[in-house]
Amino acid sequence: MPTSRILLWGGLATVAGGAVLCALGWYGISGERFAERQLPYLASCTVPGAALIVAGAVLIGVAALLPAPPPEPAPAEPEEASPPSSEGPPLRVPGGTLAHRPDCPLVAGKAEAVDVGDAELAPCPVCEPWPP
């Protein structure tokens, strides 16, 4: 994709530059009466301008012939995270105010997590240890 875009815009810029040179050459030639004085304008502006127009047309044609890139896949919609479903007594961390399931990511793997026991704690919003 970037290659075709570079070729396309490069071709358009080359054609535009060639057209400007041709216009400048024409303007210079139109002010001269004798052919001998017109030749420098032909050599310095008109001929290079025509060459740039041809080169730009080739670049645009090559850009048009390159295969189109495949469309980018749409981003997948995030799935609703279901609460962990382990069975077992709820856990808490010392000094914590929430009760968690044993496989809750907030307490999983923490050695300091202990049973809730008789403590009055709010349910964790991530793992929802008790049914509503």
Tens-digit pLDDT profile for residues 15-63: 999 999 989 888 888 888 888 888 888 888 888 999 999 999 999 999 9
Q: How many domains does one find in the chain?
A: 2
Examine the domain organization and report whether 6 and 60 are in the same domain. Answer: yes
Examine the domain organization and report whether 111 and 61 are in the same domain. Answer: no
Examine the domain organization and report whether 57 and 99 are in the same domain. Answer: no
Examine the domain organization and report whether 55 and 99 are in the same domain. Answer: no
Examine the domain organization and report whether 57 and 104 are in the same domain. Answer: no
Average pLDDT, the chain: 83
Per-residue b/e over 5-44, b at no fewer than 16 CB within 10 Å? eebbebbeebbebbeebbeebeebbeeeeeeeebeebbee
**pTM exceeds 0.75:** no
Whether 73 is in a domain gets the answer no
SS3 98: strand
Examine the domain organization and report whether 44 and 98 are in the same domain. Answer: no
Domain that holds residue 30: 2-65
